[in-house]
Amino acid sequence: MAATSTSPVCFSALYFMNMRGDVLLERTYRDDVTRTMATAFKTEIINGREHHSRNSTSTGLQTPVVNLGACTFMYKRVQNVYIVAVTRANANAVMAFSFIDALVELLKQYFGKVTEHSLKQNFVVVYELLDEILDFGFPQITSAAVLQSFITQKAVRQSLGGKNGETSSYHAAAKAKEVSMQVTGAVQWRSPGLVYKKNEVYLDIVESISVLISPSGSVLRSSATGVIQMKCFLSGMPAPPDSIPSRSFN
């Protein structure tokens, strides 16, 4: 019997819902689901949980991954908001919740607390972020340091006490002048403005050979593995060449 393969995280839709099940914000990334999925989550999960709590004395917790028909719902409650991810694929649940956690931290970086009130006040910022962090349902950039370099929309920030703070921008005027690269060139693992006197790249190829030999001397099993280690001294964000001349290697 063939094992069921697990695909990477692939969201069909993402919903932000309040405790009553009303959709605050939504973004559909694929056409394999409709708005009725939000209604199904409200009926089966939110209303079902309230009915269970009123008519049962058990304290069992409901699983955060629920299959309804052909769709899988993965959700997390933050304050008075449900963040619900819907997919029809056999997605990796651990990666999905890692992305949801990263999304929550990203929203906190922009406007302090993730609540129904803060989402309504900053819906423009949230929609801009949802367009950048997911591409056709696949997670992309979730680093606040990178996203704040090209999403300069002001946000209404909430303090940790729950009171509204003053409107603040996460991009200073000095930094705004430095934003020249496009979204595809913004990476969180490389700082801008790197300059070296000489552009050099050092490559080390490290190989390891494993052999299993029987007492008679015959090879039972053998394998070879290896890694390529790179040390880079390149200025800025240079484009890689199509090929490397052989004379470049010592």
**The pLDDT of residue 36:** 84
Residues 6+ apart with CB under 8 A from 171: 148, 149, 152, 179
**The pLDDT of residue 199:** 85
DSSP-derived secondary structure letter, 45: I
pTM for the structure as a whole: 0.58
Banded pLDDT at 55 (limits 50, 70, 90): very low
On the 0-12 / 13-18 / 19+ scale of CB atoms within 10 A, 59 is: exposed
pLDDT in tens, 157-182: 655 544 444 344 444 444 544 554 44
pLDDT in tens, 87-145: 888 888 888 899 999 999 988 888 888 888 888 888 888 888 888 888 888 888 888 87
Report how far residue 80's alpha carbon sits from residue 41's, in angstroms, rounded to the nearest whole number. Answer: 16
**The pLDDT of residue 60:** 45
pLDDT over 80 at 237, yes or no: no
Report how far residue 192's alpha carbon sits from residue 86's, in angstroms, rounded to the nearest whole number. Answer: 36
